[in-house]
Amino acid sequence: MNYLRTAILLAGLTALFMGVGYLIGGASGAMIALVIAAATNLFTYWNSDRMVLSMYGAHEVDRRSAPELVGLVAELAGRAGLPMPRVFLIDEPQPNAFATGRNPENAAVAVTVGLMNQLSREELAGVIAHELAHIKHHDTLLMTLTATIAGAISMLAQFGMFFGGNRDNNGPGIVGSILMMILAPLGAMLVQMAISRTREYAADNLGARIAGQPMWLASALLKIESAAHQVPNLEAERNPATAHMFIINPLSGHGVDNLFATHPSTQNRIAALRQLAAELGGAQAAPSVGANENYPPQGPWGRSSSHGPSRGPARGPWG
């Protein structure tokens, strides 16, 4: 998806926010909603990284406290032509990761303890390269803004349930208020998902090129997908609006699929990475979803996964 379409979808979210404001308070309500949206976006622009990192209890690490992790991020950032982002560790058993920050100069990469414990060094490199791709594409700010606006629409729609009338047209009425409370957040979620899912494909592609081996990321996605179904992320469950920021959906409720998914299917992402590997001339046997459910946990500096070298450190273009 190109940036023009992304901008249109983001504008659609803002318009939906104003529409809910109009139903609650007429023209003045729409203007108030526009002001709130602008103020919210401005606040998010300057504070998005601190907000999300604090929400997940992330603590910053450096070359003294996590030399291998920070060194790997530095090597990949240099390969991507990016400034060195801050690196954070989240005390969370579910393997996952996300990037945040308003621009590449003020970016952060956060990984969970579970990710460090269960991925090989090559797989971890694929995940970090994916997050660096989000930073290079300026997706981190975009996805935080969509989460903020979508959350504000949900709150405003619920607020309108109690204050649905205005002097000009008496509001949408009780039936209209109920529909607004249901449909407005649904519409916001659909737009949010459309933005998130397409940006994931782009980050997979660039991230694989940064790491130099698309199948490292494919193998990592398979492991994270399997673990995410088994290990709950309680903080993500309490803040579902942030789920799309992670490399794999951290939420345990996977009853809804396709239309309401925060991420593209792992099968489709692996297929795209396999095609890219073939194009780059380094195709390896692609993992199949569900074939690695009982993989043994491996630390990032232990033995490589079955999709990479069998022993010793990875010899990719970054190391």
**CA contacts within 13 A on the Cβ side of 163:** 11
Non-local (6+) Cβ contacts of 168 within 8 A are: 26, 27
- Please report which residue ranges of 56-172 form alpha helices under DSSP H: 67-80, 113-118, 121-136, 139-162
Neighbours of 40 (CB within 10 A): 16
Taking the C-alpha atoms of residue 30 and residue 12, their distance in angstroms, rounded to an integer, is 14
Three-class HEC string of 174-203: HHHHHHHHHHHHHHHHHHHHHHHHHHHHHH
Name the residues annotated as catalytic: 131
What are 267's two structure tokens? 């099968």
258 sits in the region (left: phi over 0; alpha: psi -120 to 50; else beta) called left
- Residues making up the chain, counted from first to last: 319
